[in-house]
Structure 1
Amino acid sequence: MFMFLDCCAVNPVESTTNDFDTTPWCTTKGECQSTNAEIPKACCVGVTETNYTSAPSSCYADVQSGTYNKKGCFQALKELEEELEEKNTAHTTTVLVLEIILFVLEVSQVILVISICRSSNEA
């Protein structure tokens, strides 16, 4: 999720004190201790599944500003939800407009047929 949404932790990461401090990942026996990390490598800017192992230590160990995704994943998920809602609303509006246009065209065809029938009855 960190790599897909370009986010890190639940709340925004501001420094080496962050959401990971009290997690099993970073307690006295967690992965954090064995790699001297403050945040997971997945939080680093530009890290993908293919280059995960070569993430720069300035990101995960030193937490240097600009090297990691500061946005919290809670906010990133909210933004994704809003974006999907906007697309859904835009899609619904487009479908509604198209349905109205089709209705107007059908009514126009009926009026045209009625006009043609009246013209041929008068002739």
Structure 2
Amino acid sequence: MSGQNIDQLHRSTLGIYASLMDQFNPSLQKLVSLGNSYMQAFQALAVTSEAYFSTLAKIGEQAFHTMSSRLIGDVLIQMSENQRRLTAELEAIFRWFHSEVLQEMDNNVKLDKDYIAGSRRRYEMEVRTQATSWRGS
């Protein structure tokens, strides 16, 4: 392999390392960050939903005990119970999503970053060592 080809290969390899560190890895970090923001937004929604449907259930209870609004009261109570059940199921899914997906992705992104940085350092040291040995020959 000629010196020009080796130099081109070296620049190309460094470009790949730079691309991984400057584009791909930060994109994954942003994805994890967006997932965490999504989790926080859902948690806020769940709290607000609980307050809303608790109030709705209270209104339903009051309406249930009147002759003219008994049916509406029953519907409001059922809506509140169903919404609470759905929210609880979604909270379980989000807890799984956070622990099994987001935390694992975050850990893997950090491990990848460390591995790529170490791999680049080893590559650069190897290239320097080879360049020194070629000059010495």
* TM-score, normalised by the number of residues in structure 2: 0.43
User: Normalized per residue, which structure has more helix?
Assistant: 2
TM-score by length of 1: 0.47
